[in-house]
């Protein structure tokens, strides 16, 4: 790896136009997701220095005015003049889109930035940005506003010894973002993840607004990551299996641990990017795991055994961490690894590592085998139950499942399925809907908690069977998005504690069994009103106390008749249509998996077997509850 990181290695691909006009194209949105993407872009530059072997310490500070500083002890962005553009390399990196050293493999063999839009986008979307660079014995400084330099690059001091590094402070532009408030927990989560994926680096996060400060450093790397994910589960053996290997420029680290549960949790990363849609590295891992366990089973138990991949992955928590040059990303959200050669590399490293581990640790190998054989028997029982259900459905002439009120048009792109809590609300929804494109499936009470239940039990639950049949995609390994019958699946429950519990149970089911429905934006939560206010001959549906207070102020003491809805069943069909089902006037919240690791942790805490973490979570977050309706 070359330490000769200079201006002539900075390559320009495109100018910085359009970032302020169309920020969503570059950072995803102008909401909280886009705002926090700015921190990630700056952080990615520091992590690239970690990957290149030059950075050990990173500090992130959220200041009282909602500006953010990221400091690292890497090589420092070059400050010498570019031979063609006659500007400092720093200014080029800060003011031109796609300008940077990542396009030169001599400088960064491995780089984390997913699309390389980089820090210039942060600069363009900030009212103020300060870059302080320490390198070559000097400290350099330049400031910018909305992407343009406010003055020349200047030397502001002498560096101590051979110190080097980059310090970036930026203040997001309130003209661009809906809110410029940074969420400490969100930033800390990403810092923790990066510390897990780059063992030994030290990342400190400080919030000057609250005084909160955390340091993330994991010498065990991905092994500690797996332990962290399994902290609220009963594990089958205390120390995760760790496998590492190199093939040319590709470095692979894998950590594996089984728990008593029925869910498989495999998280895959390439150059510190969470490849949420998997890809060739995941395929290689699955193939190797299946082959290694089957080989061991045939050797130790029965020559005729043929265990399936899903049996072997039941209760598995795994991290796949790949570092490589030039990753090719594909898929809906550009987070599926496409490099074909990686499948074979991961396959061989994992297979060799597991065979060796099983030979050296027969007691753990036996535990994994017993878990897998038990899962295989349960799967076969579940399969029989499924086949029986299908036979019953075919004997019934393909009638709609359960109490489904189907829609009249056959257009999956436009059709909507409302999953409604309770028969009375279901009755109102059936009468109030637009029958052409809105289908209604009432569910009775609380569905089974899939986090605690085996697949056999889940598939025997009437409400879940009705949902699976209505949606049409199948579940888990059989899931096929092309068979989806509805573009929108809308969860509609009461605006109270019980309603929230039912929503959580439904979301747990979708997250664990039909995750791509959420990932591809098909799952929504309906927001029913809390109040109906009548004033003279006008009706208002209001969704919060704040809206009610605002209306009171605007009417300034005219007479108001206020009805507080306790549940969906209190609304007649016309009110339900006007307030919650009419596409012109309703409020829907799209469910997204922005952070799969956090979602996984949250479902494990809230829906898992262990009571103590749930109690702790509720105690810690109790003050955040705005309204408790019992």
- Give the catalytic positions in this structure: 421, 494, 496, 498
CB atoms within 10 A of CB 239: 14
Would you say how long the chain is, in residues?
630
**Two structure tokens written together for 524:** 């929504």
Longest CA–CA span in the chain (Å) reads 84
For residue 224, how far is the Cα from the chain centroid?
Answer: 20
CB atoms within 10 A of CB 16: 20
b/e sequence 579-609, b meaning 16+ C-beta within 10 Å: bbbeeeebebeebebebbbebbbebbbbbbe
Residue 431 to residue 423: CA distance in whole angstroms = 12
* Beta-carbon contacts of residue 515 (< 8 Å; ≥ 6 apart): 593
Residue 243 to residue 253: CA distance in whole angstroms = 6
Q: Which of 576, 614, 538, 598 is nearest to 229 (CA)?
A: 598
> Contact, 583 vs 595, CB < 8 A?
no
Main-chain dihedrals φ then ψ at residue 135, nearest 5 degrees: -170, 160
Exposure of 432 by Cβ count < 10 A (0-12 exposed, 13-18 middle, 19+ buried)?
Answer: buried
Q: Which of 356, 390, 373, 558 is nearest to 459 (CA)?
A: 390
Place of tokens 């992590």: 47
For residue 346, how far is the Cα from the chain centroid?
Answer: 24
**Two structure tokens written together for 251:** 């470095």
Residue 359 to residue 622: CA distance in whole angstroms = 49
Distance set, CA 503 to CA 338, 451, 486, 510 (Å): 35, 14, 19, 11
Residue 339 to residue 538: CA distance in whole angstroms = 61
DSSP conformational letter for 577? I
DSSP string across 263-298 = --EEEEEETTEE-TT-BHHHHHHHHHHHHHHHHHHH
**Two structure tokens written together for 313:** 């992955």
CA angle 64, 112, 89 (to 5 degrees): 75
Residue 393 to residue 400: CA distance in whole angstroms = 9
């Amino acid at each position: 790896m070359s330490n000769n990181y200079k201006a002539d290695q900075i390559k320009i691909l495109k100018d910085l136009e359009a970032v302020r006009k169309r920020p969503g194209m570059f950072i995803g949105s102008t909401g909280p997701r886009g705002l926090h993407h700015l921190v990630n872009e700056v952080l990615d530059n520091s992590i690239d220095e970690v990957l290149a072997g030059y950075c050990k310490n990173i500090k992130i500070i959220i200041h009282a005015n909602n500006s953010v500083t990221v400091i690292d002890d890497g090589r420092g962005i070059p400050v010498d003049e570019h031979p063609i553009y006659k500007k400092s390399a720093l200014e080029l990196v800060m003011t031109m889109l796609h300008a940077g050293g990542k396009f030169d493999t001599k400088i960064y063999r491995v780089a984390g930035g997913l699309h390389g839009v980089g820090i210039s986008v942060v600069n363009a979307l900030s009212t103020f940005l300060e870059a302080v660079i320490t390198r070559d014995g000097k400290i350099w400084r330049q400031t910018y506003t909305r992407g343009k330099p406010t003055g020349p690059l200047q030397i502001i001091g002498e560096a101590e010894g051979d110190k080097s590094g980059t310090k970036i402070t930026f203040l997001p532009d309130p003209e661009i973002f809906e809110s410029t408030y940074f969420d400490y927990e969100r930033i800390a989560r990403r810092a923790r993840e990066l510390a897990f994926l780059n063992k030994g680096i030290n990342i400190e996060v400080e919030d000057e607004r609250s005084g909160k400060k955390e340091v993330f450093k994991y010498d065990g790397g991905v092994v500690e990551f797996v332990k962290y994910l399994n902290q609220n589960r009963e594990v089958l053996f205390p120390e995760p299996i760790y496998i590492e290997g190199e093939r040319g420029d590709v470095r692979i680290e894998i950590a594996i641990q089984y728990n008593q549960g029925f869910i498989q949790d495999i998280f895959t990363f390439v150059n510190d990017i969470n490849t949420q849609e998997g890809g060739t590295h995941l395929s290689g891992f699955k193939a190797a795991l299946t082959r290694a366990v089957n080989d061991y089973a045939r050797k130790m138990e029965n020559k005729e055994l043929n265990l399936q991949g899903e049996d072997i992955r039941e209760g598995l928590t795994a991290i796949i961490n790949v570092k490589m040059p030039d990753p090719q990303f594909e898929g809906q959200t550009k987070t599926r690894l496409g490099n074909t050669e990686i499948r074979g590399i991961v396959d061989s490293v994992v297979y060799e590592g597991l065979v060796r581990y099983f030979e050296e640790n027969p007691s753990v190998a036996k535990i994994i085998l017993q878990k897998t054989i038990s899962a295989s028997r349960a799967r076969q029982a579940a399969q029989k139950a499924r086949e029986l259900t299908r036979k019953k459905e075919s004997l019934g002439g393909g009638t709609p499942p359960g109490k489904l009120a189907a829609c009249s048009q056959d257009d999956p792109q436009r059709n909507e399925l409302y999953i409604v809590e309770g028969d009375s609300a279901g009755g109102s929804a059936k009468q109030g809907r637009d029958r052409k494109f809105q289908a209604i499936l009432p569910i009775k009470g609380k569905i089974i908690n899939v986090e605690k239940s085996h697949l056999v039990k889940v598939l025997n639950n009437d409400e879940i069977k009705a949902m699976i049949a209505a949606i049409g995609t199948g579940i888990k390994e059989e899931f096929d998005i092309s068979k989806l019958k509805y573009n929108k699946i809308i969860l509609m429950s009461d605006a109270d504690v019980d309603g929230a519990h039912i929503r959580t149970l439904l979301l747990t089911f979708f997250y664990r069994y039909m995750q791509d429905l959420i990932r591809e934006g098909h799952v929504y939560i309906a927001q029913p009103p809390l109040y109906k206010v009548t004033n003279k001959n006008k009706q208002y549906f209001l969704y919060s106390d704040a809206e009610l207070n605002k209306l009171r102020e605007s009417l300034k003491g005219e007479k108001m008749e206020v009805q507080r809805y306790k549940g969906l069943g209190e609304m007649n069909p016309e009110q339900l249509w006007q307030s919650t089902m009419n596409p012109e006037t309703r409020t829907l919240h799209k469910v997204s998996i922005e952070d799969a690791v956090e979602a996984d942790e949250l479902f494990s805490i809230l829906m898992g077997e262990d009571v103590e973490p749930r109690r702790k979570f509720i105690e810690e977050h109790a003050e955040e509850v705005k309204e408790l309706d019992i």
